[in-house]
Chain A
Amino acid sequence: MANLIPVAKTVGANKIVPTISIPYPLGDPSTTKEQQWKLRYHRVGVALDALTIDVKEQTIFPVKI
């Protein structure tokens, strides 16, 4: 899970899920705690699902929130 997708690709991460920033990858402090939780829950869920998916090359998994 990374914010700098090009860097993640360069260093060879095979399954990449985007995060929202460098200092707070999984929860923007300017939003409510509830919104932060929802975003984090969603993106970590995408990452967990990614672990079950068979990929042949570096793949960026889309997120909705």
Chain B
Amino acid sequence: MKKAILYLNQFFGQIGGEDKADFAPVINEGQIGPAMELNKNLENAEVTHTIICGDNFMGSNEEEALKTILEFLENKEFDIFFAGPAFQAGRYGNACGVICKAVKEKFNVPVVSSMHVENPGVEMFKKDVYIFKGGSSAAKMRKDVKVMAQFGDKLLSGKKLLPADEEGYFPRGIRHQVWLESEKPASERVVEMLIKKLNGEKFETELPIPKSDRVAVAPPINDLSKANIALVNTGGIVPVDNPDRIQSASATRWGKYDISKMEILQAGQFKTIHAGFDPAAADADPNVILPLDVMRAYEKEGKIAKVHEYFYSTVGTGTTQAEAARMGQEISEHLREANVDGVIMVST
């Protein structure tokens, strides 16, 4: 029998209501509250411990709460970790996401939760945690716990997992390559889709494009001659030893590289690791993707004040929008800290 641990807030952990929301984390052997229901539904695992923490404690002392709970878990054996269900409770949803993400990172076990679609925890953690589409209130407790348990059983038994929508959790923005049961080749499927489309019939795409959230147009730079301009690219330009081991496709990593003492990007010093096109041209002259040479010319002419000391790089082939958005946010934080005024972004 495998082992599971469940995280609950002070309310469902039967400590108390809002007045106990500052309750510091504890770990209990056995099952409390929803842990009993979870245990009843799990076929492949036993719930050995219940962790309880006040929502406000997690909200305002996140670091301490995480440290304490991860210490609790250090000497415990467990194969899967559950949190919630959190329904539409925002702080609880946040807490479930925070703890699940940390447990996954530290112990590398699957983490499963359940939240209502409106719970802000969904948007914040759906990339990191299997979050099932749950009810808005505790009236749905039994149903939501059952769903979590069934999926937990499936994970533990190593059965083939279906796409997010079919399993019932919020899509994590991860793509898998799978063989279809029908063995019908892509060429036939795409023609069938096209015929349906031409006939105005409904068809289901195999490559759903996530709804794009627009970024507002940045205010214009008033005086370019005073501006610090950075170079960013998705063409995979990196130092030849690729020190950050950025993937050649479906990248999840990016790198920043010092160019403050360079006039141009030298072949032999930089290359592209992008797997989506013939690298010959960019390897022979990396400036065709990362135009440092002409940026230096504009700097000398005084059209811009300076080229930012670092350029930023990742690979844009097969990269999901979710990963791209995260990397974009991380890079822009660096740019903002360095007082960069504008960015020239070259995509390939």
Contact = CB atoms under 8 A, between A and B. Distances in A.
A48 B229 contact: yes
A20 to B, nearest CB: 9
B174 interface: no
Contacts of A60: none
A10 interface: yes
Question: Secondary structure at chain A's binding surface: helix, strand, loop or mixed?
Answer: loop
B298 A52 contact: no
B98 interface: no
Contact of B344 (A1, A23, A24, A53): A1
B287 A27 contact: yes
A48 B277 CA distance: 27
B225 to A, nearest CB: 10
A47 to B, nearest CB: 5
Contacts of B287: 26-27, 40
A28 to B, nearest CB: 8
Interface in B234-290: 235, 276-282, 284-285, 287-289
B198 to A, nearest CB: 21
Given A1-B345, A52-B221, A24 B215 contact: no
B162 interface: no
Nearest to B278: A23
Contact of B279 (A1, A23, A53, A57): A23
A29 B221 contact: no
Contacts of B284: 29
Contacts of A6: none
A53 B220 contact: yes
Nearest to B304: A48
Contacts of A64: none
Contacts of B224: 48-49, 51-52
Interface in A17-65: 19, 22-27, 29, 36-37, 40-41, 44-45, 47-49, 51-57
Contacts of A22: 276-277, 348
B321 A55 contact: no
Nearest to A56: B217
A36 B287 CA distance: 10
Contacts of A12: 212-215
A49 B281 CA distance: 27
Nearest to B295: A44
B218 A23 contact: no
The residue in B217, B297, B341 that gathers the most chain A C-beta atoms within 10 A of its C-beta is B217
Nearest to B285: A27
Contacts of A23: 277-282, 348
Nearest to B274: A23
Contacts of B281: 23-24, 27, 29
A29 B278 CA distance: 12
The residue in B215, B220, B229 that gathers the most chain A C-beta atoms within 10 A of its C-beta is B220
B342 interface: yes
Nearest to B347: A2
A2 B277 CA distance: 14
Contacts of B235: 25
Nearest to A59: B217
B222 A52 contact: yes
A6 B109 CA distance: 41
A54 B109 CA distance: 49
B279 A48 contact: no
11 contacts: A12-B214, A15-B217, A23-B277, A25-B288, A25-B348, A27-B287, A36-B288, A40-B287, A44-B295, A51-B224, A51-B227
5 pairs of A and B residues whose beta carbons are closest in the complex: A24-B281, A27-B288, A23-B277, A51-B342, A24-B288
Given A23-B279, A40-B288, 15 more contacts: A11-B212, A22-B277, A23-B278, A23-B281, A24-B289, A27-B281, A29-B284, A29-B285, A37-B293, A44-B344, A48-B224, A51-B220, A51-B229, A52-B220, A52-B222
